[in-house]
C-alpha cells in the first residue's frame, strides 16, 4: 500500500460501514467481573480512538508500534524516559529548542547527561563513552537544513550499545522513514506537518522494538501525557491529506528556493543538501524530497524589519508545517536558548530567516516576496 493510500484507508469502521472512524470519549470501560479485565479499562491507559490513530502512525512509519502523546515534547519526554540514571545522550547543538530545554533543565534532576556535538556528521567512535545510551538525531537540522547520514549514525551507535532516536518532524514518514534505515525510535511533533493546520498540539512515537514499546506505553500510563480522543480523531482526519499537502508545500518551497537563489539581495539560501554535494547525495539516499522548510539571509544593505513588515502572507511566527506560510528568525525566536557562540558554530546567524512554506498559490507567494524585498531596500 502506498503512503497516500495508507493515510486514507487504514481505518474503516467495518461494523457500521462508516467511512470515517468513530470517536470514543468514554473515560472508563466496563470490565468482566469474572476476570476484572477488558479490552480497555481507563482512557489514559488506552482507548479505541487513540488506538486507531496509533495504528495509522505505525502504518505510515512501517513500524510495529505507534504512540500518540499530547505534544511533541511529551513524546520526546517518553523517548528519554527509558534512560537509566547515569546515561549520556549525544545530541546536535542545533537540536529543537524544547529538546534543548529538556536536556538543560530536566536531565540533571534525573542523573542524565546531554553531550552536544556541533556536527553529527563528524561523529566518530571516540565520541562514545561507557555511559552513552542514545544518539538523538534531527536530519535535516533546524534551521540550517544540514543533513546527517542516518545509516552511519545507526552503525556507530549500535556498535557502542546505544540506540538511535530520530526527530523526524521536518520530513514526516512521507519523505523519510528512519526505522527502515535502522533507527530504533522515531519521534515527531505532529503539531507541525501531521496536523498541518496550525490548530492542534500532538506528538508521536513509533518503534519496532517490543521493549521500547512497553516503555512508551508505560510513559503514557504513568506520566499521562496522552492525546485526548477528540484530538486523536482530528489528527486521524488531518493525516489523510498529509501526503497531498506536503507535495504542494514542497513544490512551492522548491520554486521559492530557486527564486531566492536568483536574487542578488539574498545572500544564502539553505535547503537540505545545499551545504555540499556530499550532503545532497546523502539526503537523496535517505529521503524522498527536500520538504518545505528553507532558510535564507538578506544582503546586509537590506532592512530585515522592513522586509518582515512588508510581507503580506507568511505570518511572522514560530512553528511550521501548516497550510499557511510562516516565517521566523531562529536566533531570537526558536534558538535563543543556545549561546551566541553555539549558534555561530551551528551556522545560525542573527539575520537568518526560516520560512515554512504553505499551500498558497506560488504566484502569490513569489509576488509577495518580491515586493517585500523591494520594500526592504534602503
Ligand atoms: C515543534 C517541535 C517539537 C516539539 O513539539 P510540540 O508539539 O511543540 O511539543 C519537537 N521537535 C521539533 C523538530 C519541532 O519542530
Cα separations (Å) of 74 from 56, 201, 268?
19, 10, 35
pLDDT digits (tens, 9 = 90+) for 267-303: 999 999 999 999 999 999 999 999 999 999 999 999 9
d(CA 173, CA 194) in angstroms, rounded, equals 10
Confidence of residue 356 (pLDDT cuts 50, 70, 90): very high
Residue 96 CB less than 6 A away from ligand 1 = yes
pLDDT digits (tens, 9 = 90+) for 301-350: 999 999 999 999 999 999 999 999 999 999 999 998 888 988 888 889 99
CA of 201 to the centre of ligand 1 (A): 9
Confidence of residue 17 (pLDDT cuts 50, 70, 90): confident
Report pTM: 0.97
Q: Which of 24, 7, 6 is nearest to 15 (CA)?
A: 24
pLDDT digits (tens, 9 = 90+) for 252-264: 999 999 999 999 9
Give pLDDT, residue 374: 97
Residue 140 CB less than 6 A away from ligand 1 = no
DSSP 3-state of 117: strand
CA of 36 to the centre of ligand 1 (A): 39
Q: Which of 61, 149, 167, 231 is catalytic?
A: 167
Stated length of the chain: 378
Q: What share of residues in the chain are helix, strand, coil (percent, to 5)?
A: 40, 15, 40
d(CA 187, CA 75) in angstroms, rounded, equals 6
d(CA 111, CA 86) in angstroms, rounded, equals 5
Residue 193 CB less than 6 A away from ligand 1 = no
Radius of gyration of the chain (CA): 21
192 a catalytic residue = yes
Residue 200 CB less than 6 A away from ligand 1 = no
CA of 14 to the centre of ligand 1 (A): 34
Q: Which of 44, 152, 263, 304 is catalytic?
A: 44
Return the sign of the alpha-carbon dihedral for residues 297, 303, 304, 310: negative
Confidence of residue 74 (pLDDT cuts 50, 70, 90): very high
Is residue 14 over pLDDT 80?
A: no
d(CA 327, CA 355) in angstroms, rounded, equals 4
The 10 Å CB-count burial string (b at 16+, else e) for 133-168 is bbbbbbbbbbbbbbbbbbeebbebbeeeebbbbbbb
d(CA 78, CA 217) in angstroms, rounded, equals 9
Is residue 79 over pLDDT 90?
A: yes
Amino acid at each position: 500500500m502506498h503512503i497516500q493510500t495508507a493515510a486514507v484507508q487504514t481505518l474503516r469502521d467495518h461494523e457500521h460501514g462508516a467511512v470515517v472512524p468513530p470517536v470514543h470519549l468514554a473515560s472508563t470501560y466496563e470490565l468482566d467481573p469474572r476476570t476484572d479485565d477488558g479490552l480497555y479499562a481507563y482512557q489514559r491507559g488506552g482507548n479505541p480512538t487513540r488506538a486507531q490513530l496509533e495504528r495509522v502512525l505505525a502504518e505510515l512509519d512501517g513500524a510495529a508500534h505507534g504512540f500518540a502523546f499530547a505534544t511533541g515534547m511529551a513524546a520526546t519526554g517518553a523517548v528519554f524516559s527509558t534512560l537509566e540514571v547515569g546515561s549520556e545522550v549525544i545530541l546536535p547543538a542545533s537540536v529543537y529548542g524544547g529538546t534543548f530545554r529538556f536536556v538543560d533543565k530536566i536531565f540533571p534532576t534525573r542523573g542524565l547527561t546531554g553531550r552536544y556535538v556541533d556536527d553529527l556528521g563528524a561523529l566518530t567512535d571516540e565520541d562514545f563513552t561507557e555511559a552513552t545510551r542514545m544518539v538523538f538525531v534531527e536530519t535535516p537540522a533546524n534551521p540550517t537544513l544540514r543533513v546527517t547520514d542516518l545509516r552511519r549514525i545507526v552503525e556507530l551507535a549500535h556498535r557502542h550499545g546505544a540506540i538511535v532516536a530520530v526527530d523526524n518532524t521536518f520530513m514526516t514518514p512521507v519523505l523519510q522513514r528512519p526505522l527502515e534505515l535502522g533507527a530504533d525510535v522515531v519521534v515527531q511533533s505532529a503539531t507541525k506537518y501531521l496536523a498541518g493546520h496550525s490548530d492542534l498540539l500532538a506528538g508521536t512515537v513509533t518503534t519496532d522494538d517490543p521493549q521500547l514499546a512497553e516503555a512508551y506505553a508505560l510513559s503514557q500510563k504513568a506520566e499521562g501525557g496522552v492525546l485526548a480522543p477528540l484530538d486523536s480523531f482530528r489528527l486521524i482526519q488531518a493525516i489523510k491529506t498529509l501526503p497531498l499537502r506536503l507535495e504542494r508545500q514542497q513544490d512551492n518551497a522548491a520554486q521559492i528556493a530557486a527564486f531566492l537563489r536568483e536574487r542578488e539581495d539574498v545572500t544564502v539560501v539553505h535547503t537540505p543538501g545545499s551545504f555540499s554535494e556530499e550532503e545532497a547525495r546523502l539526503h537523496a539516499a535517505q529521503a524522498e524530497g527536500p520538504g518545505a522548510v528553507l532558510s535564507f539571509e538578506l544582503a546586509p544593505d537590506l532592512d530585515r524589519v522592513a522586509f518582515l513588515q512588508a510581507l503580506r502572507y507568511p505570518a511572522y511566527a514560530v512553528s511550521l508545517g501548516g497550510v499557511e506560510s510562516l516565517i521566523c528568525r531562529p536566533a531570537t525566536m526558536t534558538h535563543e536558548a543556545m549561546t551566541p557562540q553555539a549558534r555561530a558554530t551551528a551556522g545560525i546567524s542573527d539575520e537568518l530567516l526560516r520560512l515554512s512554506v504553505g499551500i498558497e498559490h506560488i504566484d502569490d507567494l513569489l509576488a509577495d516576496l518580491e515586493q517585500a524585498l523591494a520594500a526592504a531596500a534602503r
